[in-house]
Structure 1
Amino acid sequence: MPQNRKKSLSGNQPRRKPLGKAELLPYTAAHVREQLLCWHLSLAAFKAGKGNGDLLAKLVKALYLTWYLQDAGFGAVKREVYLEAEGILDAAAHSASRDVWIIENADCRPIIEILDLHEQQLLCAPVFAVHEAESRVVRFARSERRAPW
């Protein structure tokens, strides 16, 4: 039996479209810088007490996206860092009920560590892997789970 035969799909599996060159390569450095600037400006707004729900959502999405890319094999930060960052973002969300949108400067280290990892992930992970991680973030958001870890 030849070993180079294509694996046949079962009746339940949809045929996957072949990936194009743009999906197999990482994002451009310019795109990564733009994304990174967005996240760091969001964090800077919170440090200045000028945060809001949209900026919080961007930081939370970056946190979860980084986790799922790490799960796919792109870089690593200890789970405790994610838990610490999540706690800080949760506290920022809870203080918003008092119309206070702030993250103290001293609390930023775990968030910055995750954003730094995410920058490295976006510079090396192929676009299709990022899209798959984004899909996982969406599925997680629709689930009843408290956290992806």
Structure 2
Amino acid sequence: MSPLRRKPLSKTMLLPHTASYVRELVLHNHVALAAFRAGKGNGNLLAELAKALYLAWYLQEAGFEAADRELYLEVEVILDNAARNSNNDIWFIEPAECGPVTRILDLHERRLSSAPVHAVSEAQARLLRFGRTSRRSPW
């Protein structure tokens, strides 16, 4: 096979993730947000919310259901504020700020439910590459 030709994708890679996988992931994300709403967040939960935000962005760049860039920026500011407050051992997101985060999580759920596994895997790979850079955000 020529080095320029890719191996054909398997059926599994061409289909979306299973509904149970998506439900489990989305539930974890919404529980993370609920913990912050209750003032019980932590660094791991904050990282999960940031991961969902950035994966949603990368899936949008791959052509899946668009949202305004301003929504991503708004959620990034909310998560940045939560990270800054954690320096004072405050792990909280104001209830009024949970709406935009919820919209991103719901958007992410719809994308995970429709995007083929290979597209999600590529978005995850992009997130890992981004994590190894000094860039502040992917946009």
| Structure of greater Rg | 1
Aligned counterpart for 1:59 among listed residues 42, 49, 55: 49
Amino acid at match of 1:24: L
TM-score (norm 2): 0.96
**What's the CA shift for 1:146?**
1.2
Q: 2:8 aligns with which of 18, 22, 35?
A: 18
Partner of residue 96, structure 1: 86
- Sequence identity (%): 60
Counting matched residue pairs gives 139
| Pair 1:68 & 2:68 matched | no
Query: Which residue of the partner structure matches residue 108 of structure 1?
Result: 98
Q: Deviations over 1:86-121 (max 9, x none)?
A: 000000000000000000110011111111111110
Amino acid at match of 1:50: K
| Alignment equivalent of 1:46, drawn from 36, 43, 50 | 36
Note the C-alpha offset of 1:141. Answer: 0.9
> CA separation in 1, counterparts of 2:11 and 2:42?
38
Q: 2:75 aligns with which of 76, 81, 85?
A: 85
Output the amino acid matched with 1:132. Answer: E
**Residue 118 of structure 2 corresponds to which residue in structure 1?**
128
Q: Runs of 4 or more off by more than 3 Å in structure 1?
A: none
How well do the aligned residues superpose, as a CA RMSD in angstroms?
1.3
Q: Which runs of 5+ in 1 are unaligned?
A: 1-7
Can you give the 5+ residue segments of structure 2 that lack an aligned partner in the other structure?
Answer: none
Deviation at 1:18? Answer: 2.1
